[in-house]
Structure 1
């Protein structure tokens, strides 16, 4: 958990400073209690680790976590503060990842459900095209009031979004290969992509380049550049240069916490 706290402390400071100097994103509140952009995940991840200490000991943790994810939408304050809304809305998925093991899915069954996953993905895309959903529901950083829903039954909409998200997750996971490959090793270092890519993307947004991306060819080029950027940030040279910042030796922190605990 100390690495999560360290990453949030350092990169919340770094990205806030870069925003003042370069990004100039509108509506940003500079506070350690208001996670900057993608850093909400670090704050929420830290909270999920703490919540897990409690939920691992209670009965029916998934049901309780889903009810909490729905209930938090009725909060009277801003959902982005302390990443409060996202922490509880996405916590059921963190729980699912904690309890799920690949051994639970027989290899023979995994091979058979790939086609079902492909069909399900196509059906989901068609549904999204015919019945587009306000992206704010998927961000999960807004209370129901912020989304314009003040009726008592607003939570039913979030429950429906949960169903769609679970279905989409199962479709995606059914298409993920179970065998080890080159990308398996890359997956061990995705923290570098997560923490570094926003420096480039936020700079691109600040230049206004995305306002000129309109044609399908240009959109395809953006996707290709995103893939290339991911590959570059995973390279050993980049990891070696940024390792002192992203993966420093925190042994001194562990020794300090142990000594404080003994006292």
Structure 2
């Protein structure tokens, strides 16, 4: 498992944008930076699991195996993504240039895609009266607003004495608070918070420990046990627990179940996230470059996932067979892969990573420009 403590030491240099928070590794002699393939690999594999999980959603009722795999994947795919997002939010202090990236890289794309998804819902699902609501994230847009809130509060978690236990307590309280409401999908924001806070405390050596041969070997029986457990319990477990969108009372369970499930799901999610990260290759692979485009794949694949259900693509006879489910899985992975490619990123960059210089003050632009240049030799600058 990951053992962390709150460190006051300077963070290593890692340059990234909000939309693509992947580290850069600096070559000391030349000052040239290159991306760390390990985290690009992790982001790509995690986004494939997200897409495959969405592709499996309509298959759950007709296949216990598909339902068990769905439950297994939903235990850790978002926790892994959120933990990595927290890791690359360690340097967020609220500087003007960081706030600019937060607004232009998360806030504006959230507004754009929230509107786009609602328009798509009105057209694709023949629901012209579906209401617009900026405060009620639709489908995949919840992650953007959650990331906005988590990153904005990152400086707070660095001064809290026991940040992970406090975040876990916040998640447990949220899970038993039915009156929080739906604004900003606050239940998910708070219930997934412990993974983001844990990511804030991680250091490069923690990921090196995770990749040790012993941890990789130990991950095999852990994953096997998780798969067997998922298959055994799937008829008796409400999948809604894994979404973190409702309190225990709203799901018809006693309040104490919310506390128990918060601790249980966090522990299971963390254990499987460690297994996942242990198996991510550290070398460059054919899909490494796709890791830079996962935010594109995430935001765009939802249109296809929703459309496939509204337009009865799953009604085809061949889908409800073992071979058909395998084909659906491959299609889900292939679609998300295509959406992470460079041509797609170039096509949709104006929506996902809009240039917002015109909206900010000259001071903000100059701070961002100055911060872009490498620090003098021997200095360390948190990003």
TM-score (norm 2): 0.63
Structure 1: distance between partners of 2:343 and 2:256: 54
C-alpha deviation, 1:228, in angstroms: 1.2
C-alpha deviation, 1:223, in angstroms: 0.8
Q: Deviations over 1:30-60 (max 9, x none)?
A: 3111100111101111110122121111100
Which residue is equivalent to 1:137?
A: 241
C-alpha deviation, 1:23, in angstroms: 3.1
C-alpha deviation, 1:249, in angstroms: 1.1
Name the count of aligned residue pairs.
259
Q: Does 1:198 find its partner at 2:302?
A: yes
Where structure 2 has 5 or more consecutive residues not aligned to the other structure, the ranges are 1-101, 366-383
CA contact 2:136–2:184 (8 Å) conserved in 1: yes
Structure 2: distance between partners of 1:225 and 1:153: 37
CA contact 1:83–1:141 (8 Å) conserved in 2: yes
Q: Does 1:147 find its partner at 2:147?
A: no
**6-15 vs 196-205, greater mean Cα deviation:** 196-205
CA contact 1:80–1:86 (8 Å) conserved in 2: no
Q: Deviations over 1:158-203 (max 9, x none)?
A: 2122221111111111111122323222111111101111122211
Structure 2: distance between partners of 1:154 and 1:95: 20
CA contact 1:73–1:155 (8 Å) conserved in 2: yes
Where structure 1 has 5 or more consecutive residues not aligned to the other structure, the ranges are none
Structure 2: distance between partners of 1:231 and 1:16: 24
Which residue is equivalent to 1:245?
A: 351
Higher relative helix content: 1
Q: Deviations over 1:130-158 (max 9, x none)?
A: 12232111100011111111344541232
Q: Does 1:163 find its partner at 2:267?
A: yes
CA contact 2:211–2:278 (8 Å) conserved in 1: no
Please point out which of 86, 96, 99 is paired with 2:188: 86
> Residues 102 and 183 from structure 1, CA distance in 2 versus in 1: closer, same or farther, beyond 3 angstroms?
farther
Which has the higher relative contact order, 1 or 2, with Cα contacts under 8 A spaced 6 or more apart? 2
Root-mean-square deviation over aligned CA pairs: 2.4
Please point out which of 304, 307, 311 is paired with 1:207: 311
TM-score (norm 1): 0.90
Which residue is equivalent to 2:342?
A: 236
